[in-house]
Amino acid sequence: MCAGTRTDPAQAMNVLSIEKVAKRFGPRQLFKDVSFGLEKGQKTAIVARNGTGKSTLLKCIAGLESPDEGTITFNKGLRVGYLDQNVHMTATHSLVDEMLDQDDPMTNAVRAYEHAVARKVDASAMQRAIDRMTELNAWDFEAHVQVLLHRFGLRDMEQPVNTLSGGQQKRLAMAKVLIHAPDVLILDEPTNHL
């Protein structure tokens, strides 16, 4: 397995470090002693034959799986986005609802505020929802969602997700990752999405 890199020397500080990472699948060693760093602004490709654990390594880096050995360290506060190579969405709700169907502070704040407005909650609950929206600068989040979906050619915000073509689902999945402006974007098999 080989990690190819390209970087600007003026930005030489690792935001991500992988040290002696190893992973087994049953008795089979997928990879071992994988070490590299990722600097701010750097682009890296992991190239290897099929079945050698590239997807598993990316999932370990994204925090979706744990390595059997070694360490993966990110700078504090670094936002990581991950897009799986296989995207299949079956939800019947709208594109906007799919974008909000994420467990993170921003979308949680938007949903809590919308819930407070719809349920006409008491003044203190409403104030908490307003304060959280303000704290996270989330007031224009849904407008950002709509702009991003338009950029990906998804124009009908109320279209049910399960009616999208495979390519449209991939673009929606990419938009879900990009709406949070990740510092590190991990794309598994990026040509499947681009």
In this structure, the number of other CB atoms found within 10 A of the CB of residue 174 comes to: 20
End-to-end Cα separation, the chain, in angstroms: 23
CATH topology of domain 2-78: Rossmann fold (3.40.50)
pLDDT tens by residue, 86-128 = 888 888 999 999 998 888 899 999 999 999 999 988 999 999 9
Q: Is the pLDDT of residue 174 over 90?
A: yes
The pLDDT mean for the chain works out to: 89
Q: Report the candidate in 78, 114, 86 with the shortest Cα–Cα distance to residue 99.
A: 114
Q: Is the pLDDT of residue 192 over 90?
A: no
Q: What does DSSP say about strands 80-83 and 28-39: parallel, antiparallel, or unpaired?
A: unpaired
30-34, 72-76, 85-89, 164-168: the lowest-pLDDT one: 85-89
Of residues 190 and 145, more confidently modeled:
145
Q: Is the pLDDT of residue 194 over 80?
A: no
For position 42, what pLDDT does the model report? 92
Q: What does DSSP say about strands 43-47 and 2-6: parallel, antiparallel, or unpaired?
A: antiparallel
pLDDT tens by residue, 2-46 = 454 444 444 458 999 999 999 999 999 999 999 999 999 999 999
Q: Name, in order, each residue with C-beta under 8 angstroms of 90's C-beta and a sequence gap of 6 or more.
A: 161, 162
